[in-house]
A and B are shown apart, each in its own frame.
Chain A
Amino acid sequence: MSLDLKTIKHISKLARISVDEKRAEKLAGDLNSIFEFIEKLNELKTDNVEPLTSIAKTTLKLRSDEVKSRNIRDQIIKNSPQDNEDYFVVPKVIE
């Protein structure tokens, strides 16, 4: 398998990382050598193997649904990228 520039451009679109031609070429080289290394897994037959999705054999604990963080408005607002009194101001993300 070999990743061409078109595929690299496609992945970068999906990943929301802009790459120019020069970076795309470098990335194609790097990713191809990494995938060549990853292809080793094809040596293994895994048809009847259950995928491991969680390493810990525990069931999730239930807890009562109660409010624990009260009056933390100031803490939350503190990381707002822009100051605007009581609002957390961000760029418009919904068209």
Chain B
Amino acid sequence: MSDITKQPLTELVENIKNKKLSSTEVTKAFIDRSEKSEKLNAYITNDFTSALDKSKKFDQKPNFNLKLPGIPMAVKDLFCTKNIKTTAGSKILNNFVPTYESTVTENIWNEGAILLGKLNCDEFAMGSSNETSFFGNVQSPIDKNLVPGGSSGGSASAVAGQLTPVTIGTDTGGSIRQPASFTGIVGLKPTYGSCSRYGIVAFASSLDQAGPMAQNVKDCALLHEVISSYDPKDSTSIDFKRGNYSKELTNNIKGKKIGIPKEYRVDGMPKEIEDLWQKGIQYIKDCGAETIDISLPNTSYALPTYYIVAPAEASSNLARYDGVKYGFRAEGENLIDMYEKTRSEGFGAEVQRRIMIGTYVLSSGYYDAYYLKAQKVRKLIKNDFDEAYKKVDAILTPSTPSSAFKMGEKTNDPVSMYLNDIFTVPVNLAGLPGISIPAGHDSKGYPLGLQIIGKAFDEQNILNIAYAMEEKINFKNKITDWWIK
């Protein structure tokens, strides 16, 4: 069977179950393509030899009752994988080999999937273009020298470039949805507490969430079903009845009320984005759902709030990287000197910048003015959504204020880089689920995404809306394999 790597996850699962394909054939196909795709720099670490062994073992004793039977999969290098190097895209963890497995990856292997390798990402997931990784830029499969977005840039590039059938990323302020939008794939950021954070390298603990990235909505639903679980090892994991998201997926969204928030029409937004949004509204109506104009009045305060809360939490979380117990260590004249040199040499510029912001906003005399203020505004932002959800079932917005940009274009201006996440950040602050689906192309032929935001724990609903819209949009990703030729 040709073009194995073009098949979406659900098709591969069917083909393996019906014995039209073996796990070895599928695994080999993705390894071959990954090996031809070094130019993308999507992988930090590969585990191809072991993956091939595991696939052969699977074929000798297949279990077709599993949800991901013998499916090869690469994951973001922010998930701890037992005995496989886990770097978080940082020099400071360059030599770190966990002796334990993250809960979400464990859920994936328990359903029969096979690890292909660890995917590149912005250092400690701090970035919107994958340019902050210690292991170098990731190329977008859409075009040469184009950023794949970030921080799950390697993940987005690997799915869009068909190096892995699906993957998981993490999303603290848009790190799944923005790269999904930039590369023409689907990315879901689940409700806070839906997927366990155990074994994920922490960035901002009150915002971080793992989620699936895939070629289509159905694949995304299936992978979400696998990774979402209650986990006593994460005190913020929530014990609620999780759905059979892929089985219950339906394109019948008749009568649903979808909110269109006027505050997402920001100054300087390209006309192409506005047009895309209008097209989205029409698709919603074509599906038999209703759109309602709503207001989320505090939207413009979300990004400033995020740039207090996230760095504050990051500066605390990253205090553990001091060169003492594990990771990179620089030699110093005394203990303090060792700490300072280790962190100065071990962290990249963006991570240092955010640790400094966080340290400052938490420092004596400034806590009330910044951190407490941000927590209060965060409450107002959450209240906006609570109010809106009295009238609507979900909210439709663009995923990003622009399409993907060229490498180096925004690296010298941190604020313009941060603006990438203007539409995704409010969702993390309010702990809600959001999904980005590819919805069109701009004049350069680059993908553009639409975001559907749901109520807490209402993943099924936004998956259904995404599924119905996907059918109407009929998006075709333009992948030319430029990096292989």
Task: Please list the residues of chain A having a beta carbon within 8 angstroms of any beta carbon in chain B.
Answer: 3, 7-8, 11-12, 14-19, 27, 30-31, 33-35, 37-44, 46, 49-56, 58, 60-61, 63, 72, 75-76, 78-79, 81, 88, 90-93, 95
Q: Please measure, in the bound complex, the distance between the C-alpha atom of A8 and the C-alpha atom of B235, giving whole angstroms.
A: 35
Among B329-375, those with CB < 8 Å from A are: 329, 335-341, 343-344, 347, 352-353, 355-357, 359-360, 363, 370, 372-375
B83 to A: closest C-beta gap in Å: 9
Residues of chain B with a CB closer than 8 A to A58's CB: 193, 238-239
Contacts A40-B300, A54-B206; is A46 near B376 (CB within 8 Å)?
yes
- Contact status B192-A18, CB under 8 Å: no
* Beyond A33-B414, A90-B325, 18 additional pairs, beta carbon < 8 A: A15-B343, A15-B359, A16-B336, A17-B340, A27-B352, A30-B353, A33-B413, A34-B307, A34-B415, A39-B304, A43-B301, A44-B298, A51-B378, A54-B236, A55-B430, A56-B238, A63-B232, A95-B335
B395 contacts chain A at the CB level, 8 A cutoff: no
**What CA separation (Å) do A43 and B430 show in the bound complex?**
21
**Selected contact of B379 from candidates A30, A31, A50, CB within 8 Å:** A50
Give every chain A residue within 8 A of B235 (Cβ-Cβ): 60
Which of B329, B340, B353 interacts with A81 by CB under 8 Å?
Answer: B329
Assess the B304–A41 pair: CB atoms within 8 A.
yes
Pair B99/A78 contact, Cβ less than 8 Å: yes
Helix, strand, loop or mixed for chain B's interface?
helix
Whole-angstrom distance between the alpha carbons of A92 and B323 in the complex?
12
Chain B interface size band reads 35 or more
- Assuming A15-B343, A34-B415, A55-B382, is B375 touching A61 (CB within 8 A)? no
Q: How far is the CA of A21 from the CA of B206 in the complex (A)?
A: 34
CB distance from A45 to the nearest CB of B (A): 10
Distance (whole angstroms) from the CB of A71 to the closest CB of chain B: 13
User: Does more than half of chain A's interface fall in helix, strand or loop, or is it mixed?
Assistant: loop
C-alpha gap A63/B233 in the complex (Å) = 11
